[in-house]
Amino acid sequence: MKILFIYNPNSGDESGKEFVGEVEDYLKKYFEEVILRETKEAGDGTRFAQETKDIDAIGVYGGDGSVNEVLLGMHKTSSRAKLLILPGGTGNLLAKKLGIDDDKEAALRSFDFKRTKKIDLGKVNDKIFSLFASIGAVPEAIHEVSSEEKSKFGGLAYIKKSIEKLASSEEYKLDVKSDGGNYSGPVDHLIVGLTNKIGKLEFTQENEEMNSGKANLFIMTSDSVRDRLEVLKDSLSGEVEEGESIVHYTVKEVEINSMDGEEVALDIDGDKGPNLPVKIEILKEAVEVYLPSEVEDD
């Protein structure tokens, strides 16, 4: 078997180059051929995944953005290769959801390449996301955090920037159409999530799996401090959809437009995505991922 391993040398604590030698030695125990490719600029992960032919698996060491670049390349070529994810970013949200260890060395050694699971992906215009697409002050804060801040402060950099954004944020006027329902009016935050939780925040107990072919669409319609705190409280108990200021649909397709012509950017998995208008489509079981040997497939 042959595996293409794509790594971002600047991921997380910027130790990618030192780690890759260890990765190569480990992968050679399971694969006949290991091809290493180092990303140097945005889009390299997509290009490498598209260019490399006749491979059985693709591995990626990087954050959620690096993973999504590779997934886009796989989608464009209808690749049937299985995907290995090693956490190298600040959030590593998809890796966490799949039960992959935060420590990169421990994560590497947890794979025996026998267990896999097919999961959904989201497509928004010409981009791919693996967990969520969102609009609001918190997503804006996430993609404004610099690489230097990520390396120095880790997850605290996101919290600091989010607090700053929330203090001065304004609501949006959006028109949202989906196969689950429609909404037009003021929006404080909007999330299209392929899973019921992001990190430690559980939004709902509905649509929990990542292979249903559907996503949870949450629209927070109020920007008051009281309502924001209420949503935070509900997220700790997995009952966000029960809130008075929340509109919730289960969807396969979503179209989002700005009603007042303001420029509004969508965030995809913590990185800045396309500006509105956007069309989102859920791709059922679009990729097969490797699971750690001790994680049970749901």
CATH number at residue 56: 3.40.50.10330
Q: Are 57 and 108 found together in one domain?
A: yes
For the chain, the distance separating the N- and C-terminal CA atoms, rounded to the nearest angstrom, is: 26
**Quick one: CA torsion of 142, 143, 148, 149, rounded to 10 degrees?**
-20
pLDDT for the residue numbered 247: 87
pLDDT > 60? residue 162: no
- Cβ proximity of 89 and 114 under 8 Å: no
CA dist 62 and 31 (Å) reads 21
pLDDT for the residue numbered 115: 97
271 noted as active-site residue = yes
78 part of a folded domain: yes
CA dist 220 and 284 (Å) reads 26
Of 120, 188, 223, 271, which is the active-site residue?
271
pLDDT > 70? residue 159: no
- pTM for the model stands at 0.83
Range of the domain at 238: 132-284
**Quick one: CA torsion of 126, 131, 132, 137, rounded to 10 degrees?**
-120
Amino acid of residue 291 = L
**Largest alpha-carbon pair distance within the chain?**
58
Who wins on pLDDT, 197 or 166?
197
Q: Are 152 and 19 found together in one domain?
A: no
What is the per-residue pLDDT across 33-78, written as a single tens digit (0 to 9) for each? 999 999 999 999 999 999 988 999 999 999 899 999 999 999 999 9
CA dist 241 and 231 (Å) reads 9
Amino acid of residue 146 = S
* Residue 104, helix vs strand vs coil: helix
CA dist 129 and 120 (Å) reads 10
Q: Are 137 and 259 found together in one domain?
A: yes
CATH number assigned to the domain comprising residue 192: 2.60.200.40
